[in-house]
Amino acid sequence: MSLVSTDTTIVSSINPKMHEGEPRILDTDLAARLGFDRPRDIRKLIARYEADLDRLGVRATVAQTSSEKGGRPTTATHLNRRQAIFITAKSETPTATDITIEIIERFDAYERGAATPAQPAIPQTLPEALRLAAEIEEKRIVAEARVRELEPQAAALARISHADGEFGLTEAAKLIQVNPRKFTDYLDTHRWRYTRGKTKLAYQDKIDAGYMRNKTYCYRDSNGEEQVSNTIRITAKGLVKLAQLVPGAIQPPAVHLAPEGTAPVPFAKAPEPAS
């Protein structure tokens, strides 16, 4: 009786699984892919080449009892990549070359984490179906709670981004609760501002994006001479962007926002207490 079927129709695929610390394929799964009439017959081929297989790695074997009448014991072998390629070559099947390539590709995919994930088992009984339904409902409730938690934050950020007003660097740092020194360091190292002479200026691309503005002002120096300098102002839109980028930043507190439907008074300061 022939070990291999002449029908080369693909009856399975190479799907390595972790076994004893490395990806392997069960001998009968490989036999099915090779087209064996009786997949267990591959174990005769494995027994014939045990010494050669041992040179290619540890043979991972599992004792089994045959389901056939009489219950004869048998030994299943989980083949590593090199062992599977060796047995494929020795099988001398018409598709041995193609399957050798498939083994290499599938093992590589498994090791890259690209193997097809296992599909969830279909419930076979009513209790299993009820448990699955309960798990799905629990995940749905958790997801909805997370959405409700994030919705106010998203709304606050959206309202800030459309608000009027500008902020100095120290004020902006405090609003997103970042140390002012770390805040300005971030601006300097991530192309938000640069130095020209003794003056700090906002990069033009940040101005064009509506995140920042250079504001010129005049002052008199210690000699009474009039000087011109620059201060950087951060827009509400820029503050939202920085709140998302600066490490450790949080969204600006929504309590500073004007109620919806009213003229925006972004981050209005509380009135000074009466003296």
206-220: average pLDDT? 89
Domain range for 147 is 125-162
Q: Is residue 106 part of a domain?
A: yes
* Residue 146 shares a structural domain with residue 231: no
The identity of residue 24, as a single letter, is R
* Residue 106 shares a structural domain with residue 142: no
196-202: average pLDDT? 89
* Residue 183 shares a structural domain with residue 102: no
Question: Is the per-residue pLDDT at 170 higher than 60?
Answer: yes
Strand partners, 60: 78
Q: Is residue 2 part of a domain?
A: no
* Residue 137 shares a structural domain with residue 177: no
Question: Is the per-residue pLDDT at 12 higher than 80?
Answer: no
* Residue 208 shares a structural domain with residue 177: yes
- pLDDT by residue (tens digit) across 253-270? 543 444 334 444 444 443
Q: What confidence score (pLDDT) does residue 252 get?
A: 59
Q: Per-residue DSSP letters for 56-105?
A: TS--EEEEEE-SSTT--EEEEEEE-HHHHHHHHHHHT-TTHHHHHHHHHH
Q: What confidence score (pLDDT) does residue 101 get?
A: 80
Residue 29 contacts residue 88 (beta carbons within 8 Å): no
- pLDDT by residue (tens digit) across 111-169? 777 555 555 667 778 888 888 888 888 877 877 776 676 666 555 555 554 455 788 99
Between 29-43, 69-83, 173-187, 231-245, the lowest mean confidence (pLDDT) is in: 69-83
* Residue 98 shares a structural domain with residue 29: yes
* Residue 95 shares a structural domain with residue 22: yes
Q: What confidence score (pLDDT) does residue 157 get?
A: 54
* Residue 151 shares a structural domain with residue 182: no
Instruction: Give counts: helices (H), strands (E), the chain.
Output: 10, 9
**Ramachandran sector of residue 3 (left: φ over 0; alpha: ψ -120 to 50; beta: rest):** alpha
Q: How sure is the predictor about 195, in pLDDT bands with cuts at 50, 70 and 90?
A: very high
Q: Is residue 271 part of a domain?
A: no
Q: What is the mean pLDDT of the chain?
A: 77
Structurally, how many domains does the chain consist of?
Answer: 3
The identity of residue 208, as a single letter, is D
